[in-house]
Every structure is written in C-alpha cells, then in structure tokens.
Amino acid sequence: MKKIISIFIVALLVTGSAFAATPGFRLSPGIGENKTSVQGGQQSDPGKTFRMVRYVPAGGSGDSTTLVTESIVIWDLVSDDGVTVTTTTTSPDSAVAGIIVQAALSPETLGNSAKEDRGKRNWTWLQTHGVSQVRVNATNGVVAGNSMGTSATAGEADIFVASASDATKNGNAGFFYDTSAKALDDVECFLMCE
Amino acid sequence: MKKILSLVLIALMVAGVAYAATPGYRLSPGIGENMTTAQGGQQSDPGKTFRMVRFMPATATANSTTLTAESIVIWDLSSDDGVTITTTETSYDSAVAGIIVHACLTPETIGNTAAVDRGKRNWTWLQTHGLAQVRVQNLGSVVVGEAMATSNNEGEAGSFVASASAAGLNGNAGFFFDSAAADTDDVECFVTCE
C-alpha cells in the first residue's frame, strides 16, 4: 500500500513539474498589470473594463425615460464629479465616457449629489474598454474600422472625425468592429475610453 | 438542538436570498474588470488610475526646479522606457502621459536609467484616468467640455484641436470639467490617458 502511495505521489510531482514547465501561455508579460489574469477570465476572453456610474438625464427630469442598454454616454459636465454620466446630442462630444451595458433608470430626485444618490436606482455599469455593442445613429451608416464618437442623437454612436477647430468636438471613443447601416442596434465596437 | 439548527439554516438561506435579490448596483457587469471594486472605493467615488513614474527635466539639469503638482506631462522620448516622464513646450504633444498629482523633485544625477534611479527622489504619481486638476496655460482660456492637451507652456494645459497633417501633434489627454481664464491653477478636468 505504501509503495502504491509513494508511486502515486511521485507521479503527481513529475506531472506537476512537467505541466509547470510547459512554455507558452504561462509566460509572464513582464512587470506590470496583466489584465487577463486580473480580470479572472480565460486567456482567450476579451479584456473589458467597467466602472459603476450614476446616470442623470440630460433633459433634467426625474422619473423620465430609462436609458437603454448599449447607449453611448458622456461624463456629465453639470455634476462635474467624474462619476456621473449623461447623454449628449453633440457629435462628436469631447467628454465621451463609454457605453452603458445595463439599462439605467432615471433618478427619483433631481439635483442630488452622487453621494446623496448612493444606493438609489440610477446607478449602472459603464464599459470603458474592450469589445462592446452600441446603437448606431439614424442618420449615417458606419464602416468596420471607422473611429467612433457620439452622434447628434442621444445615446447613439456615429463615426468620429477629429476637429481641427472645435475643441469640444474631439471625443474619440474607439472604433467600430462591424459595418452597419444607420439606425441599427447591437453593432459591435471596441471601446478605448480609459 | 436540531430545531435550532434548522431555524438557523433557514434564516441564513432567507437572508442570502434577500441579499442576492437586491436590484441595481450589486449586479455584475459580466466578465471583465470592475474598476469600482478593484479600487476599493465607494459606489459614489469617482474612479481614478495612478502610475508611479520617474521625472526627468526637459532641460536635463540636475537639482533644477521642482515640477509642481497639477502639471501635465509627456512620456520622455529620450529615456524611451515607458516609465519616465518630462515636460513639453509643444502644444497637443502626441506623447501626452497624464497629470502629476504630487510635486516632483529633479534627479540628483542626470543620465541615469530608471533602474539606476530606483529609490531616488525623482519619482512621483502620475494620474492617467479620472477626475483631476490641472494648471491652465497663460496664452488662452479654456471652456468646459473642451478637449485637453499640452500647451506651449511647460506643465500647463490648453484646449486640444486635432491636426490633419502633423502626427506628433495629436495628443488628446481628456477634457476640461471647468471653464477657466488663462494662467489659472486648480482647474478641474478629466484625464483619459490609459
């Protein structure tokens, strides 16, 4: 019995060593943050970054329309706190923040600070990096590889072209992975808003 | 005794279910990095990202002027190591890195590598994402919502407009949260340099 256990332990040690010595995907990328491991996913999972944010409607109405998922949003210049997002009708807005990945309810009370709204219903997840999906505006179609920005329609994305004259219109949010006709939802894109 | 244990088990199960059923901000965004939890902050805290960097004066003089807090800086093209920053007098410098949040002393010796400078005095925190404050250049005012970049004044920020002809002049560092007159300090902004 002891021999069997000994052989079993030796076998485990040997296979363990061989497994650890396998080159390739276990190699360290070097000093720094290995986003794949930090995110707890598989090596083949696309890396994504999310931030918990507060939503305040641009129209300024409590109990107003829910912000639907896949909406592209900006950091709210009125709240001015780095944690509140809203929609814009400026194309392409320099304050672009990312894409809402879960529908966001509007606040019960307007005028609250983020601290006062803690635990309320108007919080949701903002995606700021990685592959995502977005709603495309009803005016222009987009082409795979085009840069992405906000559009003249609240919550919807359009192609991004940098402005050489207007500093408020230089918000590059990433790029489109898919070619899409106008007014389509679920259009794949890649966010770079970190 | 069995009855007490049963009651405790039932109580635990009910409490667990009640907790899990709470809607809203406890919902997972899916696979990816949740920066809100990763940063250990409260729901209402604005997310920020910092990196420890080495400062090398652009004029390359040891024991020269301390780099003041709230300076906008670039990745040092001479050190070429991804950890050393310096100042620039180029507007919209494409190598923009972020904003220094603590004053930084100059190196004791010029010409060291980052490895040789380990533990020396010329290291500080660079903010690369989130709500911050910056010094505005003395050549022009800025308006809330405008994109932000380096300016002709070392360490000071100005409005960003894109260049269609110079690839070295396309560094968009984020946007201004406040309007401010020329030569103002402590101007709120949002950094997007990750």
A162 and B27: CB-CB below 8 Å? no
Q: Which pair of structure tokens corresponds to residue B30?
A: 């899916």
pTM of the entire predicted model: 0.84
- Is residue B18 situated within a structural domain? no
Place of tokens 């990312």: A98
Nearest to B190 among A35, A82, A165 (CB): A82
Nearest to A162 among B162, B177, B188 (CB): B162
Instruction: Give the domain CATH number at A107.
Output: 2.40.300
The number of beta carbons lying within 10 Å of the beta carbon of residue A121 is: 16
CATH code at B93?
2.40.300
Owning domain of residue B134:
46-194
A176: left (phi over 0), alpha (psi -120 to 50) or beta: beta
CB A170 within 8 A of CB B172: yes
Query: Which of A31, A75, A84, A102 would best serve as a mutation to test chain B binding (most B beta carbons within 10 A)?
Result: A75
pLDDT of residue A82: 95
The pLDDT value recorded for residue B153 is 96
Helix (H, G, I), strand (E, B) or coil at B13: helix
Task: With beta carbons under 8 A apart, name residues in chain B contacting A75.
Answer: 175, 177, 190
- Residue B20's pLDDT is 44
Q: Is B19 helix (H, G, I), strand (E, B) or coil?
A: helix
Model confidence pLDDT, tens digit, residues A63-113: 777 899 999 999 999 999 999 999 999 999 999 999 999 999 999 999 999
Rounded Cα distance between B19 and B23, Å, is 9
pLDDT at residue B21 in the model: 44
Residues B163, B34: Cα–Cα separation, whole Å = 35
Cα separations in angstroms, B117 against B111, B112, B120 = 10, 6, 5
Flag if B33 and A83 touch (Cβ within 8 Å). no
The answer to whether the Cβ–Cβ distance between A39 and B178 falls below 8 Å is: no
**ipTM, two decimals:** 0.81
Cα separation, B30 vs B18, in Å, equals 21
Structural domains of chain A, count: 1
Question: Total domain count for chain B?
Answer: 1
Say what the pLDDT of residue A11 is. 66
According to the model, what pLDDT value does residue A189 have?
Answer: 97
pLDDT at B22: 41
Kindly tell me if the per-residue pLDDT of A174 is higher than 50: yes
Q: Does residue A15 sit within a domain?
A: no
Q: What is the DSSP letter of A139?
A: S
Q: How far is A84 from chain B (nearest CA, A)?
A: 8
Window 153-192 of A: residues touching B by CB (8 A cutoff) are 162-168, 170-172
List A142's β-bridge partners, or say none: A180
Q: Is residue B3 part of a domain?
A: no
Q: Does the pLDDT of residue A22 top 90, yes or no?
A: no
Share of chain A above pLDDT 90, in %: 69
Residue A192 has pLDDT above 90, yes or no: yes
- Classify residue A4: in a domain, yes or no: no
Q: Please indicate, yes or no, if residue B25 is contained in any of the structural domains.
A: no
- Strands B33-34 and A49-55: what pairing? parallel
Which residues face B131 on adjacent strands? Answer: B190
Q: Could you list the pLDDT tens digit for every one of the 194 residues in chain B?
A: 777 877 777 766 655 554 444 445 556 677 777 787 777 778 788 889 999 999 999 986 777 778 999 999 999 999 999 999 999 999 999 999 999 999 999 999 999 999 999 999 999 999 999 999 999 999 999 999 999 999 999 999 999 999 999 999 999 999 999 999 999 999 999 999 99
Q: What is the pLDDT at residue A94?
A: 98
- Is B148 strand, coil or helix? strand
Domain that holds residue A55: 46-194
Residue A3 has pLDDT above 80, yes or no: no
Please state the three-class secondary structure of A43-56 as a single string: CCCCCCEEEEEEEC
Residue B102 in any domain: the answer is: yes
End-to-end CA distance of chain A: 59
User: Measuring CA to CA, how many Å separate A179 from each of A48, A129, A135, A182, B100?
Assistant: 22, 20, 12, 10, 40
